[in-house]
Amino acid sequence: MTGLLTSPDPAANPIWAKLTAAAAVVPDIRALLDADQDRPVRSTVSAAGITLDFARQRITPESLTALIELADQQGVFIRRAAMFAGEHINITEDRAVLHTALRLPRGSSLVVDGVDVAAEVHQVLDRMGSFAKAVRNGKWRGATGKRITAVVNIGIGGSDLGPAMAYEALRAFSKRGMTFRFVSNVDPTDISEAIGDLDPARTLFVIASKTFSTLETMTNGRAARSWLVDALGEKAVSKHFVAVSSNSELVEAFGIDRDNMFGFWDWVGGRYSMDAAIGLSTMIAVGPKGFASMLAGFHAMDKHFETEPAPRNLPVIMGLLAVWNRDFLNISTNAVLPYSQYLSRFPAYLQQLTMESNGKAVRLDGTPVTYQTGAIVWGEPGTNGQHSFYQLIHQGTSPVACDIIVVAQSDNPLGDQQNMLIANALAQAAVLARGRTLAEVTADGTDLALAPHKVMPGNRPTSVISTARLDPFTLGALIALYEHSVFVQGALWGINSFDQWGVELGKKVALGILAVIEGQAEPSSIDSATVHSIAVIAEQFAP
């Protein structure tokens, strides 16, 4: 299929120049809203239980149409079809990109490289389901015959952020009699605090590492193993550890029965794997039916992205708005602001999804980009952030684009607090978009000397993403929405959103430094600044 190995330079497309000119004269958001009373209705699209209201984005309908045309000419929709078909669009690793296959309905068929990957996915899901049921209903027992009451997921990156985020998001649907903890940091404090108050006889560890050799994960895994063996003996390991991995040899060497290893595939990137076996701890928490509902939400958004025309396609619109803000409005950061405590880990999850995917400066053909790519993503739940960093968003000198996520119904109704939460979310959206002028400030009698300090410039591009309830289906759809938005951005920029060589280099260098610290390599093997830092820290470490 054409357009996979290379992609035309988007900045060389005449539409890019047209958009640049349009951005230079685009009215501010308040003017756009006031000039068109129908703008909110026309700027609202829904799919899979998710509604996107982008009326407060600083863009005209004409510019959005031009962005869609640009995406078409740059081969974005060709690459979309190639991804769903299983083409090797991850060209630097010669792999297909098939996270969408993880949520194909039972009975589906997708043959890639001679293998029906859909059938393989459901074989793993069935094994996961049987195991999750056994842990939840008490049929799976620890070495002493006691029921498992605590599950500790040990991973890092996508093997941690996805399951940890999903557990927090779906806590209302989780098995309340069980404790779930997540360990990722090689800092010994992380594993120590996670297991310090647990009963080894009632604890199950899920070690998530595709290669079963990830430094941080296996360091923590060995620490957990020692903790368990000290309490219950070597023979207990097989009843208290399972693996999410594809390296059966190392899994068995650790002491885990191969029957308790749940595999996944090289066409699943870590940051796209929470709906694969990496989600085993999630499935134990919410049950196989809850997990299946989450997969159905993913799939519903997948089908919408694959088939809906671009002007009404949520991921396409979100992705193109992100490109518009980054390249034409020169906004370098995007704040994700969920007005739901259950989504407290969602911004952190999106940081990896977006910045590891599109933090690239080289195009598919190896040439450097001449334009901006991935934005910096960050955020905290509302209303907490309102008493923290919103000051900078409202009156700072660096413009920030914002996604405000609203869940209409609370799983924990308490007086009028949900109405208060929603009112705060919409108030922030209004002020971020419209601001407050000097005339409006002085009209309420504010002293003229104080008035400038109360002016809010507004004009901060803001999307409001809402849903009726945060349940497993909705969470799946919400994650897929952002996954496909990231795809649209990367495809338009002509970069590979599915490798992460910057991460790989850091791992390699860390191993070299570790060898020097432990006296297994000469200091001459690393740079002088690092040698100096090792010496400084060694002095601080000494008693």
Q: Which residues does the annotation mark as catalytic? A: 356, 387, 507
- Strand segments, DSSP code E, in 12-132 are 44-47, 50-56, 111-112, 115-116
Buried b / exposed e across 340-358, counting CB within 10 Å, b at 16+? bbbbbbbbbbbbbbbbbbb
The DSSP secondary-structure symbol of 202 reads G
Short-list 187, 246, 247, CA closest to 216: 187
Instruction: Decide if 76 contacts 492 (C-beta within 8 A).
Output: yes
Short-list 400, 365, 409, 352, CA closest to 160: 352
Query: How far is residue 267's CA from residue 98's CA, in Å, rounded to a whole number?
Result: 6
Query: How far is residue 72's CA from residue 100's CA, in Å, rounded to a whole number?
Result: 22
Pairing of strands 241-244, 44-47: unpaired
Sheet containing 376-378: order of strands: 44-47, 50-56, 462-467, 400-407, 333-339, 376-378
The backbone torsions φ and ψ at residue 88, rounded to the nearest 5 degrees and listed phi first, read -80, 75
Query: How far is residue 240's CA from residue 252's CA, in Å, rounded to a whole number?
Result: 14
Instruction: Decide if 461 contacts 329 (C-beta within 8 A).
Output: yes
Whose tokens are 């996270």? That residue is: 99
Q: Could you tell me the two tokens for 454? A: 């109360």
Instruction: Decide if 456 contacts 431 (C-beta within 8 A).
Output: yes
